[in-house]
Structure 1
Amino acid sequence: MALVVYWYDCICFGIVAAAFLGSLWVLWRKEAASRCEDDSVYESLIAAQQDADGFVHATPTAHVGSNQLWTSCWKGVHPGWLVLTRFVSFAALAGFLSWDIVDWDASIFVYYTEWTFALVMVYFGLGTVISAYGCWVCLNTPLPENGARAEFLKSDVEESRTENSVTYKENNVRDKIRLQSQRAGFWGYLMQTIYQTCAGAVILTDIVFWCVIVPFLSNSHLGLNTLMGCMHTLNAVFLILDTLLNSLPFPWFRLAYFVQWSCLYVVFQWVLHACGFTWWPYPFLELNTPWAPLWYFALALVHIPCYGMYALIVKAKNSILPRLFPHAFVRSY
């Protein structure tokens, strides 16, 4: 057994356990409590079931609308562009990850970077499928029932103030409200969860790589080269590009998923070392030093500013862009 436990390691275990349990409590308070109380069954995994009038009975605090998964925040931009962007991002990331595996084999997944990189790939892959499905639904739904098509593909031209025009506007508003009230299903919430987990994890991996590993902890794998430079740059570039195009919300409480993702990786490292693995991919995860509790506590705290940095990007998007492009931009929330 390669993992020797010292008394101060119990503090590290406690820090990780407290972070994980705390994130579970946050999700229980925010995510689970905000779900609809009805006993209805999903019509599909993309959208939740509606009532007879086409409305979902309740709009939860953590609401993710099914149309937000595949529509752009820019008026007049066809949802197909979001499909194309996500597919190109997925293909590019898959190429770099394949390059990494060919160079270092599958053991490369002992690194948090590869975990996060693969998760970003999953987001873009799932996003491509859901976006394509949304476009298909949009194009095959009759126009009066298709609020998204009316909102994102029509020209919004008002020809007169007649009674017919007023009636059309009222019906159009009702269509939009109906669509926006349609709660995303399992795959939709999974996509939203992965998106917000990736947001924090990408910032964390890139900051640690460029500010800590490259200047101080460079080695044969983590040294600065073309592959590592691209992997620690393009992950953030593609995700931010998607953020500038998508309509997904970004509530703060889903920081909990990011914390759980990191906790899962740390436990994975502990299990590896308990099974005989002797080498730590990141020196600040080592347990055989009295400074370990301080390192673990610092790593737990750094999740907040990393997630906060991405939250600021989303906030700037929804605050600045509407002022610069008042007739072209639609707030995501």
Structure 2
Amino acid sequence: MALIVYWYDFICFAIVAAAIVASLWFLLRRERGCLGIDDTAYYSFLLLHRSKGLGSARLWTSCWRRLHPGWLLFTRSTSFLSMAALLAWDVIKWDASIFVYYTEWTFMLVIIYFAMGIVASVYGCLIYSNKELTLETGEDAVVEKVGVEFRQRLGVYGYFMQTIFQTCAGAVVMTDIVFWLVIVPNLSNAHFGLNTLMICMHTANAGFLLLETVLNSLPFPWFRIGYFVLWSCLYVVLQWIIHACGFTWWPYPFLELDRPWAPIWYLCMAIIHIPCYGAYAAIVIAKNSCFTYLFPNAFVKSYNPNLFIKPNTAISVI
């Protein structure tokens, strides 16, 4: 192996392994534990076939009353195209080796989320314009229309879309905090150099995701921080693997294993996941609290599963 392992590196390995085990245990406990819960606020994607409402409607509806789902489609498409262009620019400038950075991993994940959001919004626009689905026909007609099997598939799709959204949120906060507060003040490393592209990438990821958060009606449960932790652990483990195979340069100094204080860095990076995810959760809470107070007639923080409305009737999320 090209990677030299010191005794203190086993502490780093233990920290990452503990984070993976704890996240898996927490997620399995919460996701499987929801089987007996009838509330579909967070679990309708996983158990859509058992829920009383068509919970997947939150994928394409906005938290703002009378806002056509086409507006969410427009913002998601704009975000997707803009971020894809920035990533293409990055790859053209530095080649595919740029994906050694966590920033590019997170950037790609956000792009994948917006791509999934576009598909969901297109479907939502079709549902919105379908004159056969009205409030008078009720939910039974909706179930008969789309079919149980299709609803289950849509539920799985929505579950992954929501999970990616929550993973992106924590990862983007951590990426930008580390970049602006740790890396930029210490740009003595020859591999780093602040330029327009780097500034755009480390502002666009947060900006487009915040715009999406202001418009969408997706929940943000705390327990799915586990997916965020697993995402970061996957990146770290792959870094270990490529260095064991001969890659000698570390993209981030705090990941280096040949330093006696490496366990302290790894422990700090493990702990920082909590405030990063919590910061975005606080943004979602602030959105629901402040907008409900400032715009009581236009904003709603919960959603109505009976979202299929009459033609020419403004959409409402109650």
Query: If the TM-score is normalised by the length of the shorter chain, which range does it land in?
Result: 0.7 to 0.9
User: Can you give the 5+ residue segments of structure 1 that lack an aligned partner in the other structure?
Assistant: 39-44, 51-55, 148-170, 176-181
Matches within 5 A, 1:185-224: 185-224=155-194
Give the Cα separation in 1 of the matches to 2:100 and 2:136: 46
Of 276, 280, 298, the residue aligned with 1:310 is: 280
Residue identity in the other structure for 1:328: A
| Structure 1 position 128 matched with structure 2 position 80 | no
Normalising by structure 2, we get a TM-score of: 0.84
What is the SS of the residue equivalent to 1:328? coil
Residue identity in the other structure for 2:11: I
| Structure 1 position 20 matched with structure 2 position 10 | no
- Percent identical across equivalent pairs? 63
Structure 1 equivalent of residue 230 of structure 2: 260
Give the Cα separation in 2 of the matches to 1:220 and 1:8: 27
Of 68, 77, 80, the residue aligned with 1:78 is: 68
Matches within 5 A, 1:10-159: 10-35=10-35, 48-49=48-49, 56=51, 65-140=55-130, 142-145=132-135
Residue identity in the other structure for 1:255: I
Give the Cα separation in 1 of the matches to 2:58 and 2:234: 29
Cα distance, 1:214 vs structure 2? 0.5
Regions of 4+ moved over 6 Å: none
Give the Cα separation in 2 of the matches to 1:251 and 1:315: 11
Give the Cα separation in 2 of the matches to 1:256 and 1:47: 19
Matches within 5 A, 1:244-255: 244-255=214-225
Higher relative contact order (CA 8 A, sep 6+): 2
Q: CA deviation digits over 1:263-286, x for unaligned, max 9? A: 000001000001011110000000
Cα distance, 1:37 vs structure 2? 9.1
| Structure 1 position 237 matched with structure 2 position 237 | no
Residue identity in the other structure for 2:159: Y
| Structure 1 position 282 matched with structure 2 position 252 | yes
Cα distance, 1:28 vs structure 2? 0.8
Q: CA deviation digits over 1:205-233, x for unaligned, max 9? A: 00111111010145455321100000000
Q: CA deviation digits over 1:105-157, x for unaligned, max 9? A: 0010000000000000000011111111122123225243589xxxxxxxxxx
- RMSD (CA atoms): 2.5
Residue identity in the other structure for 2:48: A
Contact 1:47/1:188 (8 A) holds in 2:
no
Larger-Rg structure: 1
